[in-house]
């Protein structure tokens, strides 16, 4: 299993967020932003990203929510949803996204 997983749920349609493009970037202390991994959620809205272990530091998951809703003919306020988080240790990190056209929320899952 990857060190980082995510799960997108479309709260308004009551379905998994399938085929959502997601990227993972590391934000280095010096200001550099480095792409670590990217991919698409599967039919169940799930995606494992990155190497087996992420170095401690600050990361960002960016979800292409605008493209997801555009494919469904739904207007949205958020073209991208970016979640910043900190990796502190070698634990598994699960960062889900609960999505609607005009709101989103997240939490640290297990």
* Weakly modelled stretches of the chain, pLDDT under 50: none
Q: Which two tokens stand for residue 85?
A: 């988080």
Q: What pLDDT shows up at residue 59?
A: 96
CA-based nearest residue to 102, from 70, 72, 79, 71: 79
Q: What is the pTM of this model?
A: 0.94
Give the other-Cβ count within 10 Å of 65's Cβ: 25
- Contacting residues for 105 by C-beta, under 8 A, at least 6 apart: 97, 98
Sign of CA dihedral 97, 98, 103, 108: negative
Query: What is the domain count for the chain?
Result: 1
Q: What is the CATH number of the domain that holds 45?
A: 2.60.40.180
Domain that holds residue 91: 4-106
């Amino acid at each position: 299993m990857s060190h980082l997983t995510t799960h997108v749920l479309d709260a308004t349609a009551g379905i998994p967020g399938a085929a959502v493009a997601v990227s993972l970037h590391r934000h280095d202390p010096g200001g550099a932003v480095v792409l670590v991994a990217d991919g698409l959620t599967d039919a169940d809205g799930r995606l494992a990203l990155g190497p087996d272990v992420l170095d401690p530091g600050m990361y960002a998951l960016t979800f292409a929510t605008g493209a997801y809703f555009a494919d469904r003919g739904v207007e949205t306020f958020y073209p991208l949803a970016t979640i910043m988080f900190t990796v502190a240790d070698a634990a598994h990190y699960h960062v889900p996204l609960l999505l609607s056209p005009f709101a989103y929320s997240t939490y640290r899952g297990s």
